[in-house]
C-alpha cells in the first residue's frame, strides 16, 4: 500500500512524502540519500540521523531514519534470525512515531511541513500519540489498520522508555489489559481511522473480529471507514511477461497454455478432468489453510487438482508436503516466497482459494479476477466486498465473479469446492464469469480518490483527543 497509494496521490496533485525506518533494504533502495538533520541520541540509540532521498522510479521524497543500532540488524524488520520479536521493538517503532511527530511540527525539516499525517498499523501507532503531546501542533492524523490481529502490545514497565506521560497509559488511552498497545494508541489519538475494506471496518466493531479492541472501535465508529486497497495493474495483468503466454479477456487461449505449463512444471497430470485450484498465501490458520487440508479429499474426489505456493506454520507446511507426496499427480506444493512464481500460479490456475478466517482486504483474489481465475473465498472482510458469488440470481443479472462460502468449516468449504467443480463443467457459463471478473477494476486511482476526500474532511477537524 505504501508503495502504491502515495504515487496515486501524487498523480492527484498532492506533495506526499513517506517516512521509513532505515532497514538495510530501505537504505539500499532509496536513491540519492542526503542527510537532513542529525537528531542525536533518542530512545537509547546513540546516533539517529534523518536522511531524504527518492523512491525508485519516481520523484517522490522518502525520509529515512538512520539509527543503525535499531534498524541495521539480521532477520526481518520485526523479528530476529531466531524468529523471535526483538525485545526492544517498542523503542524501534516508538522512534518511528516520535520522528514522524517531530517532522510534522517542522522541527526536523523546516522546508516541508505536512498538512495531514497518515500512519499505518501498530508500528506507526505512536505517531498520533506524540503529535497530541505537542499543544502547538494541530496537524490532523489518519491511522490505518491493516490487520487488527497485530496490536503491538508491550509490558507497562516499558512505558518509561518512550517519553510519553503516564496519563496516556490509562484505559482511556493506550492501556490494554495491564499492558499497553501501539495499535490502541493509533485508534485513540488519531482524528480519523481507516481500514482496508468497508466490510472489515464493520467486522472489527464486533467481538468476533475486534481482537479485544472492538469496544474502542465502537466508540470511534463515526470516525472509522473502510477503503479498499487497490491493485497495481501494471504489474498484475495477464499481458505480463512473467507468465508462459500472455492472454486477455478477448482471447483466453494463452490461459490454457499457462495451465498446462504449470502442471508440467510441478509434475501434475495434464489429464485431470476437474479444475486446477491454487493457493498463494501465508500458510496460517488465519488464511484457513487447515480447513483446506481437511477438505482436500473432497477436492480430489471431484477429479480436481491443487497447487500451493506459500510459507508459514510448520504443521501446515508439513500437511501440504505430505498431501503432495501421496497424490503426486494431483497435488503439488512449493514452500517458499517467490513473486514471479506467484504470477504463474495465478495465471495457470482455474480457481484461486482464499478460505480465510478473517481477511482485512486480501489482494490475491483481486489478482485472480484480473487473470480470469475464479476466486473461491470465505464471506469475510474484503473478500466479501470484492467477490460476487456464483448463484442463480447473480448469474441472471450478470454479476457473478467467483464462489463464496459462509462458515469456517471443512464441510462448508468442501461443499463450495464441489459446487465449483460442477460449475466448471459448464464451459460457456464459466467463460462468462471469467470475462466479467477480468473487467472488474480495483485500481489505486479509485482508492486514492477516497483517501483524498478523507484528508480534506480532516482539515476541517478542530483537534484530536488531547488527553
- Binding positions for ligand ADP, rule: CB under 6 A: 280-282, 309-311, 337-339, 342, 361-364
User: Is 202 in contact with 185 (CB distance < 8 Å)?
Assistant: no
- Residue 28: CB minimum distance to ligand ADP, A: 21
Residue from 423, 424, 443, 242 nearest 345 by CA: 242
What Rg do the C-alpha atoms of the chain give, in angstroms? 23
Q: Cell 489489559, residue?
A: 177
Residue 8 vs 42, nearer CB to ligand ADP: 8
d(CA 319, CA 345): 20
- Residue 82: CB minimum distance to ligand ADP, A: 21
- Residue 360: CB minimum distance to ligand ADP, A: 7
β-strand pairing of 141-145 with 117-120: parallel
Residue 341 vs 449, nearer CB to ligand ADP: 341
- Residue 378: CB minimum distance to ligand ADP, A: 13
DSSP letters spanning 248-305: -SS--HHHHHHHHHHHHHTT--S--SS-EEEEEEEESTTTTHHHHHHHHHHHHHTT-E
Residue 4 vs 261, nearer CB to ligand ADP: 4
Helix axes 182-189, 89-104, angle to 10 degrees: 20
What angle (nearest 5°) sits at the alpha carbon of residue 336, between those of residues 407 and 327?
65
Exposed (0-12), middle (13-18) or buried (19+): which is 280, by Cβ within 10 Å? buried
What are the φ/ψ torsions at residue 179 (nearest 5 degrees)?
Answer: -115, -165
- Residue 94: CB minimum distance to ligand ADP, A: 24
d(CA 446, CA 440): 12
- Residue 279: CB minimum distance to ligand ADP, A: 9
d(CA 139, CA 349): 47
Residue 8 vs 309, nearer CB to ligand ADP: 309
Residue 78 vs 337, nearer CB to ligand ADP: 337
Residue 104 vs 353, nearer CB to ligand ADP: 353
- Residue 311: CB minimum distance to ligand ADP, A: 6
Residues 6+ apart with CB under 8 A from 420: 275, 351, 374, 376, 390, 403
User: How many residues are present in the chain?
Assistant: 467
Cell of 348: 495457470
CA dihedral 135, 136, 140, 146 (to 10 degrees): -60
Helix axes 289-301, 314-326, angle to 10 degrees: 10
- Residue 364: CB minimum distance to ligand ADP, A: 5
d(CA 205, CA 215): 7
- Residue 259: CB minimum distance to ligand ADP, A: 18
Residue 232 vs 419, nearer CB to ligand ADP: 232
Residue 186 vs 360, nearer CB to ligand ADP: 360
Residue 45 vs 352, nearer CB to ligand ADP: 352
Residues 6+ apart with CB under 8 A from 199: 226, 380, 381, 382, 384, 385
Residue from 435, 351, 353 nearest 398 by CA: 435
Residue 191 vs 244, nearer CB to ligand ADP: 244
What angle (nearest 5°) sits at the alpha carbon of residue 250, between those of residues 442 and 264?
90
- Residue 2: CB minimum distance to ligand ADP, A: 13
Residue 102 vs 344, nearer CB to ligand ADP: 344
Residue 3 vs 75, nearer CB to ligand ADP: 3
- Residue 342: CB minimum distance to ligand ADP, A: 4
- Residue 8: CB minimum distance to ligand ADP, A: 17
Amino acid at each position: 500500500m505504501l508503495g502504491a497509494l502515495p504515487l496515486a496521490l501524487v498523480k492527484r496533485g498532492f506533495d506526499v512524502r513517506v517516512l521509513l525506518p532505515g532497514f538495510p533494504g530501505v537504505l539500499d533502495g532509496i536513491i540519492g540519500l542526503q542527510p537532513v538533520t542529525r537528531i542525536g541520541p533518542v530512545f537509547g540509540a546513540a546516533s539517529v540521523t534523518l536522511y531524504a532521498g527518492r523512491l525508485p522510479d519516481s520523484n517522490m521524497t522518502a525520509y529515512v531514519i538512520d539509527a543503525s543500532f535499531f534498524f541495521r540488524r539480521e532477520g526481518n524488520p520485526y523479528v530476529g534470525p531466531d524468529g523471535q520479536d526483538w525485545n526492544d521493538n517498542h523503542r524501534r517503532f516508538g522512534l518511528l512515531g516520535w520522528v514522524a511527530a517531530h517532522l510534522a511540527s517542522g522541527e526536523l525539516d523546516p522546508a516541508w511541513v505536512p498538512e495531514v499525517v497518515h500512519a499505518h498499523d501498530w508500528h506507526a501507532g505512536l505517531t498520533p500519540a506524540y503529535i497530541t503531546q505537542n499543544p502547538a501542533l494541530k496537524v490532523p492524523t489518519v491511522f490505518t489498520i491493516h490487520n487488527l490481529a497485530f496490536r503491538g502490545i508491550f509490558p507497562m514497565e516499558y512505558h518509561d522508555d518512550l517519553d510519553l506521560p503516564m496519563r496516556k497509559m490509562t484505559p482511556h488511552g493506550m492501556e490494554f489489559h495491564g499492558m499497553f498497545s501501539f495499535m490502541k494508541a493509533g485508534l485513540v489519538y488519531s482524528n480519523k481511522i481507516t481500514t482496508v475494506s468497508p466490510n472489515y471496518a464493520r467486522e472489527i466493531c464486533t467481538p468476533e473480529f475486534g481482537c479485544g479492541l472492538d469496544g474502542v472501535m465502537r466508540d470511534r465508529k463515526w470516525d472509522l471507514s473502510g477503503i479498499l486497497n487497490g491493485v497495481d495493474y501494471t504489474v498484475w495483468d495477464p499481458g505480463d511477461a512473467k507468465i508462459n503466454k500472455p492472454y486477455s479477456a478477448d482471447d483466453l487461449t494463452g490461459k490454457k497454455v499457462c495451465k498446462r505449463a504449470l502442471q508440467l512444471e510441478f509434475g501434475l497430470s495434464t489429464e485431470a478432468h476437474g479444475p486446477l485450484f491454487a493457493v498463494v498465501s501465508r500458510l496460517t490458520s488465519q488464511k484457513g489453510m487447515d480447513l483446506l487440508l481437511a477438505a482436500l479429499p473432497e477436492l480430489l474426489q471431484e477429479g480436481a487438482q491443487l497447487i500451493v505456493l506459500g510459507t508459514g506454520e510448520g504443521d501446515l507446511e508439513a500437511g501440504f508436503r505430505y498431501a503432495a507426496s501421496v497424490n503426486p499427480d494431483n497435488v503439488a506444493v512449493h514452500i517458499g516466497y517467490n513473486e514471479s512464481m506467484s504470477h504463474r500460479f495465478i495465471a495457470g490456475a482455474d480457481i484461486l482459494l482464499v478460505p480465510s478466517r478473517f481477511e482485512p482486504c486480501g489482494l490475491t483474489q483481486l489478482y485472480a479476477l484480473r487473470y480470469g481465475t475464479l476466486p473461491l473465498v470465505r464471506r469475510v472482510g474484503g473478500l466479501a466486498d470484492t467477490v460476487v458469488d456464483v448463484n442463480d440470481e447473480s448469474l441472471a443479472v450478470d454479476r457473478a465473479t467467483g464462489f463464496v462460502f459462509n462458515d469456517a468449516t471443512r464441510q462448508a468449504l468442501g461443499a463450495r469446492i464441489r459446487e465449483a467443480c460442477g460449475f466448471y463443467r459448464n464451459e460457456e457459463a464459466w467463460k462468462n464469469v471469467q470475462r466479467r471478473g477480468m473487467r472488474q477494476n480495483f485500481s489505486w486511482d479509485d482508492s486514492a480518490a477516497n483517501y483524498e476526500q478523507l484528508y480534506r474532511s480532516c482539515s476541517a477537524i478542530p483537534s484530536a483527543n488531547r488527553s
